[in-house]
Structure 1
Amino acid sequence: MSFANLGLAPALLSAIQRANYEAPYPIQIEAIPALLQGKDLLGLAPTGSGKTAAYILPILQQLLSKEALRDRAVPVLVIVPTRELAVQVAEVAENFSRFLPRRIKSLAIFGGVSINPQMMKLGGTEILIATPGRLIDLMGRNSVNISRIQTLVIDEADKVLQMGFREEMEHILEYVPKKKQTLMFSATMDGEVEELIQKLLNDPVRVQVAADDFTPDLIKQSAYRVSPETKGPFLRQLIQSGDWKQILIFASSIRTADNVVGKLVKNGIDAVAFHGDKSQGARTEALAKFKSGKTRVLVATDLAARGIDIQALPLVINYELPRSPKDYIHRIGRTGRAGMEGEAISLITPEEMHHFKVIQKKMGKWVKLIHEEDFGKAEE
C-alpha cells in the first residue's frame, strides 16, 4: 500500500514524497480515506503510531480546496495535552505545507511563555494547535474565534482528561459549532474518554492500532539485572561503551531525572533533564539541543516526554520501569522509527523483576536478561 492509494491529491502526494515519507502506517491507511470523506473518527492508537500525519494530511487537503479565512476565525482546531505535543503537531503540519501550492499557516499555542507573541502570530492561522488553558486565555482576550471551526481534533484525549483539563474542555466545547468534523485520538479508553466520545462524535469510523501489534520489530530489546547501588555507575559505563549519538533515558520521577543528570555531568557525559519543573524556555532549549545533537543525553519523565518525536533516535534506556506496560511500549517506540533500527535497554533491580515480567507478558515478547557482571559478553 502506498499514499497514492489513499485518495490524496497530487499536491499532497508530492509534499509527502518531498518530506521523505515512504509507506503509510496502518492508522494512516484506515484513517485518511475516511477523513477525506468528511466522516468523524475515533482513533485508538499509541504514541508513535503515525496518527499525527493521519489527520494532518487530509486536513491540509480540505484546506487547499478552500480560501483562507481573513479574520481570527480559525477553520481547524487541534487540542493537545502538552506543549511538546503542540510543537510536534505544528512541525508536521509545517513540514508538509512547505511543499503545497499555497502555504497553510499552522500555529502552536501553549502556556508557560509570554502570551503576547502568540497573540501577534494568530492572524491568518488555519490550523491552530492548542493546550486547553492557553486557548481559553486567548479566547478571553478575544484574540481567537473558534465559533466557525470546520474540523476539531482532540489528540491524546486520555491525557487531556488525566491532566485535569475536564473543566477547560467543557468550556471550550461551549464555543465550537455543533456542525463540524470531529476527530478524537486516545491511547486508552476509560469512562471519561467514553463520555467525551458519546458527546462529540457522530457515527465515527473507528480505527484501532493495538500497542502489542505496534511493537516495532526493528527495536533490539535487552535488559540488565543490576543492584540499586550499582545502577548509576552501570548506566555511565553503558553510555561510555557505545557510540550512540543520541540517548533518551526515562526516569519515573523529576527527582530521579535531576539526580541522574547530575551524576552524568559530573562524570563528563553531556546530559540535560527534561521534566515539568523546568520552565518552558528551558525545555524548548533542551529539546532543540538534543534534536540537533548538541546534547547527547536527554533524561526525561514520561509526562514531559510525550510529544518528543525524533526520526532516527538510536537508543532508549529505561533507568526505571514505567508503571504500565502501555507506557513501556510508548517509551521504546521512540526508537526504531521510519524503517530504521533502534535499541531499547532496561536496567532492572531485583525489586523490579516481577513488574518487568508483567510488562513482558502483556507485550507478548520476552526480553533477554543479562547480569551486569556479564556486560560486554552478551555478543560473544
Structure 2
Amino acid sequence: MPFSSLGLSSVLLNTLADQNFTEPSPIQAQCIPAILNKHDVLCIAKTGSGKTAGYVLPILMNLQQTLAVKNRHAHVLVLVPTRELAEQVAAVFKTFSKNLLQSVKTVAIYGGVSINPQMMALQGVHVAVATPGRLLELLNSNAVSLSAIETLILDEADKMLNLGFKEEMDKIISLLPKARQNILCSATLSKDLQNIHQLLLKNPIVIKIETEDGSLDLIKQVAYIVSNEKKGPFLRYLINHHEMKQVLIFASSVHQVDAIVNKLRKNNIDAKAVHSKKSQGSRTESLANFKSGKLRVLVATDLMARGIDISSLPFVINYELPRSPKDYIHRIGRTGRAASHGDAISLVSTNELDHFGIIQKKMGKQVELIDSEQIRIK
C-alpha cells in the first residue's frame, strides 16, 4: 500500500519521497486515515514502528484547513514525558511541514532551560509539543492559551502515567476545549492507560499492531553472570573485544551512570552521560554526537531512553537490570530496528538471577547465560 492511497496531499507525498519514505508502516497505514477523518484514536505499537509520523502527517493535513481561518492560538497540543522526546517530535513536525502551502509553526517547550525564549517562541505557534510541568508554568504566566486546541496527543502515554504526571495532566486537560480530537500513543496497554483511555477517548478507533515483544526477533540476546565488583572491567572488555563503535549502556541510577562514564573515560573509551541532572545543552549535544557516530559510548538512565531513536544502533548493554520487565524490553528495543539486526548484552550479578528469570518469562524468550569466569579478560 503506497502513501498516495491514504489521502495525503501531493506536497506531503513529495516530502515523504524526499525523506526516503517509500511505503507506510502498518501503524501508519491505519492511523493516517483514522486521524484524517477526525476520529479519536488509541494507538498501541512497539517503539520504532513509526507512530510519530503516523499522527504528524494527518494532523498537518487537517491543519491546512484550519489555518485558512486566522487564529492566533495553538491548534495542536502534544504532551510528552521528556525534553528529548519533545525535541524529537517537534523535529518530525518541522520536517514534514516545511513545504506546506499554509506554514505551520511548531515549538518544543520543556523545563531545564530559560523560560523567556520559549515565551517569545510561542507567539503565533500552531503546534505545541510540551512536557506537562513547563506547559503549566507557561499557562500560569499567560504565555500560551489552550482555548483553540482542536487535537490533543499523549505520546508515550504509558510512560507519562508511570512517571506520575497524572495531577499535572488532569489540570491541563481541564483547561482544554471539550470538543476536540484525542490521540493516545503507547508501546503497551497498561491498566493506567486503559483508565485514561476510558476518560479521554470518545468512540475511539483502537489500533494495535503487535506487542513490543515482536521487535525482539532481530535482536541477539546474551547475558553474562558477573559479580558487581567485576562489572566495570568486564564492560570495558566487551566494548574493546567486540570493537564497538556505537553502544548504548543502561544503568538504573544517575550515580551509577556517572560512575560508569568516569571509569570508561579513565580507560580511554570516549563516553558521555545523559540523565536528569545534566543540563539540557549537555544532553542535547551528547545525543546529537552519539546519533551522528561522533561519540562511541552513551550511558543513560531509563527515562532518557525515550529520546534516543536510532534506526540501526548495533549494541545495547544492560550494566544492571531494570526493575520492570517492560523497561528491559524497551531498553533492548533501542537496537534491532528498521529491519537491522542488533545485539543486546546484559551483565547479571548472582543476586539478579531470579529477577532475570522473571524478565525472560515475561518476554517469552530464553536468553543464553554465560559465566564470565570462563572468559579471560586482559
RMSD: 2.2
| Aligned equivalents of 1:197, 1:47: Cα separation in 2 | 19
Q: Alpha-carbon deviation of 1:249?
A: 0.3
Deviation at residue 55 of structure 1 after TM alignment: 0.8
Task: Specify the alignment match of 1:199 in structure 2.
Answer: 199
Compared CA separation, residues 13 and 268, structure 1 to 2 (3 A): same
Q: Does residue 1:211 correspond to 2:211, yes or no?
A: yes
Instruction: Out of 184-193 and 17-26, give the one that drifted further.
Output: 184-193
Question: Shift of residue 337 of structure 1?
Answer: 1.9
Determine the structure 2 residue equivalent to 1:298.
Answer: 298
Deviation track 1:345-380 (CA, whole Å, cap 9, x = no partner) reads 111222222222222222222222233255599xxx
Aligned to 2:121: 121
Distance (whole Å) between structure 1 residues aligned to residue 273 and residue 82 of structure 2: 17
Deviation at 1:89, TM superposition (A): 0.6
* CA shift in 2, pair 1:129/1:69, >3 Å: farther
The 2-side partners of 1:106 and 1:8 are apart by 20
Mapping of 1:255-270 within 5 angstroms?
255-270=255-270
* Distance in structure 2 (CA, Å) of the matches to 1:266 and 1:65: 57
Pick which of 286-295 and 323-332 moved more.
Answer: 286-295
Corresponding letter in the other structure for 2:91: E
Q: Could you report, residue by residue, the CA deviation over 1:68-103 in whole angstroms, capped at 9, with x for unpaired residues?
A: 665541111101111111111111212222354454
Task: Say whether the 8 Å CA contact 2:187–2:212 is kept in structure 1.
Answer: no
Conserved? CA contact 1:212–1:363, under 8 Å:
no
1:128-169 superposed Cα distances (whole Å, 9 cap, x missing partner): 100111111112222212111111111122322332322221
Conserved 8 A contact 2:257-2:301: yes
Q: Contact 1:249 / 1:319 at 8 angstroms: preserved in 2? A: yes
User: Counterpart of 2:235 in 1: which secondary structure?
Assistant: helix
Paired residue type of 2:124: G
Give ranges in structure 2 of 5+ residues lacking alignment: none
Q: Distance in 1 between matches of 2:114 and 2:72?
A: 19
CA distance change for structure 1 residues 234 and 99 in 2, over 3 Å: closer, same or farther? farther
Matches within 5 A, 1:1-380: 1-67=1-67, 72-375=72-375
Contact 1:70–1:124 (CA under 8 A) maintained in structure 2? no
Question: CA 1:223–1:376 in structure 2 vs 1: closer, same or farther (change >3 Å)?
Answer: farther
For 1:134 and 1:69, the matched residues in 2 are separated by 29
Question: What is the one-letter code of the residue matched to 1:193?
Answer: L
> Which residue identity is paired with 2:44?
L
Report the CA distance between 1:245 and its aligned residue.
2.5
What is the deviation of 1:206? 0.8
Deviations 1:220-239 (CA, angstroms, capped at 9, x unpaired): 22222222222110100111
Task: Report sequence identity in percent.
Answer: 56
- Name stretches of at least 5 consecutive residues in structure 1 with no aligned partner: none
Call closer, same or farther: CA 1:68–1:247 in 2, change over 3 Å.
Answer: farther
Q: CA deviation at 1:295?
A: 1.9
Question: Secondary structure of 2:323's partner?
Answer: coil
Q: Choose 25-34 or 263-272, whichever is displaced more.
A: 25-34
How many matched pairs? Answer: 377
More deviation in 30-39 or 96-105? 96-105
Mapped partners of 2:46, 2:274: distance in 1: 21
**Is the contact made by 2:213 and 2:329 (CA closer than 8 Å) also made in structure 1?**
no
Q: 8 Å contact 1:154–1:184 — kept in the other structure? A: yes
Does the 8 Å CA contact 1:81/1:131 hold for their aligned counterparts? yes
CA contact (8 A) 2:67 2:102 kept: no
- The question of whether the paired residues in 1 share the 8 Å contact of 2:85 and 2:306 is answered with yes
CA-to-aligned-CA distance 1:295-345 (integer Å, 9 cap, x gap): 211110101222211222221111111122211111111112222222211
Query: 1:68·1:126 contact (CA, 8 Å) conserved in 2?
Result: no
How many Å apart are 1:25 and its aligned residue? 2.7
Q: Describe the SS at the equivalent of 1:52.
A: helix
Give me the TM-score of the superposition, normalised by structure 1: 0.92
